[in-house]
Amino acid sequence: MKKIKVYMTIVMTVLISFLLNNIYAITPSSDNIYNGIDVSEYQENINFNLVKQSGIDIVYIRSSEGTNFIDPYFRRNYDEAKAVGLKVGFYHYVTARNITQAINEADFFASVIEGTSPDCLLAMDFEYFGGLSNEEVNAISRAFLERLEQVTNKRTIIYSDAYNAGNVFNSSLSSYPLWIAQYGVEEPELYVNWENWTGFQYSDTGRINGIIPYVDLDKFTEDVLLDDNTSIINSGNNIKPQNNISEITITVTYGETLSQIAYRYATTVSSIASLNNIANPNLIYVGQKLIIRTTENNDNFNNQVEYYRVKENDTLSQIANKYNVTVESIAQENNISNPNLIYIGQILRIEVLRYDVHGTGSTIYLVRPNDTLSQIALDYNTSVSELVRLNDIKNPNLIYVGEKLRV
């Protein structure tokens, strides 16, 4: 028995030693720590004076996504943060699926922030990988970062959650500083290919004076600061935004809110309120005419891709209801084999259907389980025959879950 106990003690000692050497808290890259936040259009109107008075030193601002989306609050956030003396950085959300697209995105990012004077490293936010292999993810990341540094002459940083930093991004990227996201811990605790962090996002539910909704909270070391914060001169291809700005007029219907309308047309409440001289955004009325300015493609059926980070107690059904899509569509889009199994921090790609912006007055509706054509007609104050005509439906009693209907 004593031999067994000695043997078990040795085994446990070896196991603990292994764990301590493979799962440990990575440390900051320097002792000088700055308080920071990162913001985007989701925070809408920010009072940066109050933010600074709250003890914030650094603000990272989302500037862009892909090759054709500019955050509508990017320039305003930059100007106002700079005006109160905050140190500013920019991040770009990468959607590339190959090296060519990665290079194009780097050029686009550079063109968006051209003329600004950031104080902090330019950040790559690459979170959604779809069906990409780890090798492809790392190749895309390297191409994006190398191109961005080449055309801006500014150094870069990688933003990543702890899981991806330990399981996806490999040592070929460890020469770039790491801005790691992990919530509920004093220090990042997951084994990664970096020995220290330059940025640490420790909460996505922070409360800061001057910002009404939640905001991400960060710590940054002095290594996040650029040695040269002169104005960015883009020496690349200068790919400019290809956004087509459309201005349309809609009529408010029963039960609609300004936030719903803003979401549907990929704009903001403040933009609609400003365009229409609305003093109280909570007060609109049925029959009211609203001018909407939005960015769209030329297709009649426009889809908007949203990215959602799973939170505690979320279910796929709740998320699907929030975005007016089906559980099946989210599962298929994200290669989820078990719709009942999602995890906190997981990034979901959601394709959201929106109104036609070309003046046809039509709405795009995604058929859900148990829907009938008669019920849809009733909900949208139209007739079954009109739906049949608009959608060239052969059998009014046969529609499919996930089918797109013009209403």
Q: Among residues 38, 65, 125, 296, which one is catalytic?
A: 38
DSSP 8-state symbol, 397: T
Q: Would residue 38 show up in a list of annotated catalytic residues for this protein?
A: yes
Amino acid letter, 110: A
Contacts of 280 (CB under 8 A, 6+ apart): none
Q: What is the rounded distance in angstroms from the CA atom of residue 315 to the CA atom of residue 390?
A: 34
Residue whose token pair is 């790691």: 180
For the record, the structure tokens of 346 come out as: 């997981």
Q: What is the rounded distance in angstroms from the CA atom of residue 396 to the CA atom of residue 384?
A: 8
3-state secondary structure of 206: strand
Q: What is the rounded distance in angstroms from the CA atom of residue 18 to the CA atom of residue 191?
A: 12
Amino acid letter, 387: L
| 8 A C-beta contact, residue 172 and residue 142 | yes
For the record, the structure tokens of 60 come out as: 């990272």
Q: Among residues 127, 161, 216, 296, which one is catalytic?
A: 127
Give residue 199's region: left, alpha or beta (phi > 0; psi -120 to 50).
beta
| 8 A C-beta contact, residue 183 and residue 311 | no
Among residues 287, 282, 241, the alpha carbon closest in space to that of 262 is found at 282
Among residues 334, 249, 329, the alpha carbon closest in space to that of 293 is found at 249
Q: Would residue 247 show up in a list of annotated catalytic residues for this protein?
A: no
Our CA dihedral for 91, 93, 97, 99, rounded to 10 degrees, sits at -10
DSSP 345-379: T-EEEEEEE----SS----EEE--TT--HHHHHHH
The helix or strand, by DSSP H or E, that contains position 203, with its residue range, turns out to be: strand 199-206
Other CB atoms within 10 A of residue 283 CB: 9
Contacts of 171 (CB under 8 A, 6+ apart): 193
Contacts of 17 (CB under 8 A, 6+ apart): none
Contacts of 184 (CB under 8 A, 6+ apart): none
**179 DSSP β-pair partners:** 159, 199
Indicate which residues carry an active-site annotation.
38, 127
